[in-house]
Structure 1
C-alpha cells in the first residue's frame, strides 16, 4: 500500500525485494513470476479504489479473532514500504507526515521505543 499511496511509485521488483528481505523461494522462476503478478494485481486494485475515493481493502476483517495481529502485520509492511523511500515521505512537510504516519509506526511493532 505504501508503494501505491506514497510520494514515489515503487517498481514491482523493488516491492518484491522489500517483501522477501532475506528469504529465498523454492521454485524461483514460477514463484517470483507469481509474486510479481500478485503485486501488480494488488497495485491495480489499490489504485482503482483510491481513484474512486473508496476505502482500501485490508486482508482481514474486524471480526477476525487475530485482527490485532493482522493489523500489526499490515502496519509493519506499510512502514517497511515507507522506509524504503523515507526521505521522499518526509521531504515536503516533515511534521505533518510524521503526525499522519505515527499510528502506522506505532502499530507496526518495528520500533522499540516507549514513545510509540
Structure 2
C-alpha cells in the first residue's frame, strides 16, 4: 500500500524542525551576523556546500564563499519560514549532517 502523494510531499518538505536532515542547496540565505564584518548582510541562493563553507550566488550573479564557523545565517525556506542557524553547528560534510541524529530542543 502506498501513501497518498500529498502526505509523501508533506513528509519530504523542509521545515525548521527537519532542516538538518535536508539539502541546503537551492535555499536563499542571508548572513545575519559574523565575526567578519564584511560578510554581514551578504545574501543569495546557496549553490554549493562543503564541510566548512557555503557558496552562494548573489543577486548580481557574483559568487561568495562564506565560512560556516564564523557566521550566523538566516535561511528562507520554501514554505515561507525564516530559520536562524549558527554556522558552527553546520560545520560538517553535508552528507554526514543529513544522516546524523540530533536531539530535539
TM-score, normalised with respect to structure 1: 0.20
More helix by percentage: 1
Q: What's the TM-score, normalizing by structure 2? A: 0.21
Point out the structure with the larger strand share: 2
